[in-house]
Amino acid sequence: MADAAGTFLFVGAAETASSLRALLKGDGLEVLVTSDGMEAVHLASTARCASVLIDLDVPGLDGLQTLRLIRSLPPERYLPVFVSSAREDRAQRIAALDLGADDWLLRPWDDQEILARVRRSLRVRAWCDARTEDTDRLTQVHTSRFFQARLVEEFRRAQRYDDPLALVLVELDAEKVSDGLLRDAAAAISRCLRDTDVISRRANQEFGLILPKTHVAGALTVGERVWKGVAALKITASVGISGHPNRMVIDAAQLAKTAEETLARARREGRNRMCVYQPPAGE
């Protein structure tokens, strides 16, 4: 399975890992073995590490401490971590789960069961990776890439069902905004939106809001809420609004272009204001 490509890290005795190598090889996973807890933590931090299995019964190895250290790594990606033991120790099992283990495996393993559990965890990892690619790490709103794809999707839906669609662009007016203020602004803007609306970070200090089934009048109401919400952070914002249907807006690219032109007008007119796109006279 393509999602499984990478290294499966087994923390335990080398002789115990032989069956794992044969079992997981068919799924494109290389099995790497170490009995050293600190080496395991280092290996778990690498991008190629796809999953970890810690055997708690290895003499001299504090498996729970190794688990604790692995779970203390910066959460750049979701990393599935299993623990195993030859003893059905309820207290140990609960302790491992409390420390962040995804699953508990009792040895001797059932080959098909462990394979199914690993495959499931890697599907979850792939889903989490896809979500991470669509999320701006600083502000925790969607990325510009996600915004572009979603705008096309929502515009096609609006055309198909003859629904209105509005696009609101919000730019913080300060020359340079701190990371903390950007996060606060993203949170404040998000609170002004419905669950069906989409917020993304389009540029350093610019956010894009896609408002399905919303006329320009409704977008103005949202824009005003956003404008006031940002002002509560002691910073001003410029807002540009465009919408469909409009004779000048025939596709998603035109919707984005007209909203950008309107935001630029708000800047030219002194910032700290909202502007709505109007087609040129006579067109």
Average pLDDT of the segment spanning 122-128: 78
What b-and-e string marks burial along 136-164, b requiring 16 or more CB atoms within 10 Å of the CB? beebebbbeebbbebbeebbeebeeeeeb
- Give me the long-range contacts of 56-60 (CB less than 8 A, separation at least 24): 56/83, 56/84, 56/85, 56/92, 56/96, 57/12, 57/84, 57/85, 57/86, 57/87, 57/107, 58/11, 58/12, 58/13, 60/35
What is the chain's mean pLDDT, rounded?
88
User: Dihedral sign, CA of 71, 77, 78, 83?
Assistant: negative
Residue 240 pLDDT exceeds 80: yes
Domain 144-276: give its CATH code. Answer: 3.30.70.270
* CA separation for the pair 164, 106 (Å, rounded): 56
Which segment of 59-68, 73-82, 87-96, 168-177 scores lowest on mean pLDDT?
A: 73-82
Average pLDDT of the segment spanning 217-245: 95
Are the C-beta atoms of residues 277 and 259 closer than 8 Å to each other? Answer: yes
pLDDT of residue 109: 84
pTM for this structure? Answer: 0.60
Residue 148 pLDDT exceeds 80: yes
What b-and-e string marks burial along 238-263, b requiring 16 or more CB atoms within 10 Å of the CB? bbbbbbbebeebeebeebbebbbebb
Residue 238 pLDDT exceeds 60: yes
Residue 282 pLDDT exceeds 80: no
Burial group, residue 179, by CB count within 10 angstroms (0-12, 13-18, 19+): exposed
pLDDT of residue 22: 81
Query: What percent of the chain stands above pLDDT 70?
Result: 93
Locate the domains of the chain by residue range.
2-133, 144-276
Main-chain phi, psi angles of 9, to 5 degrees: -95, 120
What b-and-e string marks burial along 202-218, b requiring 16 or more CB atoms within 10 Å of the CB? beebbbbbbbbbbbbee
Give per-residue pLDDT as tens, 88-112. 889 999 999 999 999 899 888 888 8
Residue 2 pLDDT exceeds 80: no
Residue at token pair 């909203």: 259
Q: Beta strand 165-172 with 206-212: parallel, antiparallel or unpaired?
A: antiparallel
Give per-residue pLDDT as tens, 150-160. 999 999 999 99
Main-chain phi, psi angles of 176, to 5 degrees: -140, 125
Give per-residue pLDDT as tens, 29-44. 888 999 888 899 988 8
Residue 76 pLDDT exceeds 50: yes
In the structure, what pLDDT confidence band is assigned to residue 1 with cuts at 50, 70 and 90?
very low
Average pLDDT of the segment spanning 136-159: 91
pLDDT of residue 5: 54
**Arch. (CATH architecture) of 2-133:** 3-Layer(aba) Sandwich (3.40)
* CA separation for the pair 171, 240 (Å, rounded): 9
* CA separation for the pair 105, 91 (Å, rounded): 14
Query: What percent of the chain stands above pLDDT 90?
Result: 54
